[in-house]
Amino acid sequence: MNIAFIAHDMKKELMVQFCIAYKGILGKHNLYATDTTGKMITENTGMNVYRFLPGHQGGDQQIGARVVYNEIDLIFFFRDPATNETGEPDVMNLLRLCDIHNIPMATNLATAEVLVHGLERGDLDWRDIVNPKK
């Protein structure tokens, strides 16, 4: 599966801890992230992460484009609702794209843990039918 990671600044450390905790599951998949988030994940886990532009330069939009082309199967986007992020319209656009294209997206740790356990159990294998690997 192709899994994308995005995290607001105040949630980047939480994303890293999540990736450390679930490295055994996540490491079996193709990983993508916005620039700084991807760098932090790679540095702390050793997992290979393809990095897009930083979020404020359009990295989340690059991920959104991959959603539209059915190239992303799952997104972990740790948002900080307490901070007024300048990219909030981009967040809403990404949420909308995930809803349109049936891409599971976790925006907080609790939902992320449910999805990562579902990934491990095979609950998301239906994505392989929608997005067959060549």
Residues acting as catalytic residues: 60
Distance CA 121, CA 52 (A): 29
- Residue 121's φ and ψ, nearest 5 degrees, are -75, -15
Distance CA 118, CA 113 (A): 8
* CA dihedral (54, 37, 48, 93) positive or negative: negative
Q: Which residues lie closer than 8 Å to 112 by C-beta, 6 or more apart?
A: 18, 76, 78, 106
